[in-house]
Structure 1
């Protein structure tokens, strides 16, 4: 029986995730997922692609979202009251124009010191009306695209087998930053074909395959970046027709609800893989 074995949300885009045993699944994904984003002074989002030290920042947000704590090695911790209703400034995410509520100079100075570059922190505004693309339309905060990223243990297992054939060591699940990990699907990449999923009291609709980037080459514990793995190995068997390599799948939230580790994952509609 396929079940949820890991749940992780990422309060600040690009920073460390927060593993939980249960979570509220909102229309924009797991509660507080990517609700904050680090940007340059010009408002352009920062990413591990260019700023791998983001992963050293470990955020924590209170259940009601009113208090955010950030911690990083050698820089201690900083707690701030979240401004959820102040004036919003323009921000840039992959060239798309959105808005974000700036969280002030104190956290901006702290982030700039950790990252070694002028940085500010913004929060998704209440009127954030982003519409995500793919087979099933949806919304999300500052995620790359759709609200929920699912990866199965079988999928990672196959990659690690292929890495072993090259004499490479296995990679942990956190290298791919999924929100939901599923165990119990015997075939790798089953998530590619699951077009409607029920889990807990929530439902998800498939949007598209997850295109992988250089973030997969960043160690999620140390921020060390090396290559060419896993992209080299993935390119050998997971090239997408539209270009790039794909690994895992993205989903929109059809019905919000509560999700817990141990919940059965029920697929109500199957489809063909887009590859």
Structure 2
């Protein structure tokens, strides 16, 4: 009864996402997800935490991953569009992601100049090299590109509905799903809160927290950890700027994990690759205990 409602790929870490009707799920997540990363001149990754205007950069990548287009969604500037042929043969350079050193393939001066202008800070673009062997930690460790941690972020519509209801009780407006930048959004067909979790688990807010193994089509996901939320959730994705204390203020009141941190949504590793489509049934084959 739980179904895939949306599939979102973020080809460039920190930039806007693209909704898709179908996608291949690869060992490191949705095809091309977080394959690229914007960095400073000294190799440190750029993030909406400090550069919220990343949200206004809309990437589009060809199916084979050889062509990337970046377009500015900021109506107040004239950055336009930059197109590049993706290279995997250029020299590698050291990059820093949360204090851990990895390698990246520099994509050249043209896109670097475009990004530097769009963000107002010297920037370059790198791609995950083919030899990238990062394994993200968690209950089910797994390969990951330039994502913050595990390869796949899954969130249910019921969880967002509950959050928006709680914010409304405080006099706040609802937030859209893109504040949380999930890869897979699931929803229930019958929409009745209180349904049995095994039969229609997506009708229950935060039921995804307890899912330990999930099958979608022929693909299988393994639970890694809860998604700890940060200041990126304060950024309105359509304007590329922070807008107030929500949702962190409300989440702090009811979504603190036993291990610490404000959590919302769940991170998974890919156990079995496959093809995903909007409308696919999402089945939980193993449950665990909630950590909140």
Instruction: Compute the displacement of 1:240 (Å).
Output: 1.4
- Out of 187, 191, 195, the residue aligned to residue 204 of structure 2 is 187
TM-score normalised by L of structure 1? 0.99
8 A Cα contact 1:71 1:77, kept in partner? yes
Pick from 67, 70, 84: which aligns with 1:80? 84
Structure 2 partner of 1:61: 61
* CA deviation after TM superposition for structure 1 residue 201, in Å: 1.6
Q: Write the distance in 2 (CA, Å) between the matches of 1:10 and 1:126.
A: 18
Q: Once superposed, what is the RMSD of the aligned Cα atoms?
A: 0.7
* Equivalent residue in structure 2 for 1:218, among 225, 228, 235: 235
Q: How many residues align?
A: 275
Where does residue 105 of structure 1 map in the other structure? Answer: 109
How far the C-alpha of 1:172 sits from its partner, in A, is: 0.4
Q: Secondary structure at 1:4's aligned position in 2? A: strand
In structure 1, distance between residues paired with 2:213 and 2:59: 31
**How far off is 1:224 after superposition?**
2.0
Q: Look up the match of 1:90.
A: 94
Shift of 1:186: 1.6
Matches of 2:291 and 2:102, distance apart in 1: 29
Partner of 1:43: 43
Structure 1 unaligned blocks of 5 or more: none
Report the 3-state secondary structure (helix = DSSP H, G, I; strand = E; otherwise coil) of the residue aligned with 1:121: strand
Could you say which residue in structure 2 is the equivalent of 1:205?
222
State the 4+ residue runs in structure 1 displaced beyond 3 angstroms: none
Matched, 1:265 2:269: no
Tell me which residue corresponds to 2:145: 141
In 2, are the aligned partners of 1:85 and 1:126 still within 8 Å (CA)?
Answer: no
State the 1:227 CA deviation. Answer: 2.2
Cα distance in 2 for residues equivalent to 1:205 and 1:135: 8
1:200, distance to aligned residue in structure 2 (A) = 1.6
Q: State the shift of 1:36 in Å.
A: 0.1
Unaligned regions of 5+ residues in structure 2, if any?
Answer: 189-201
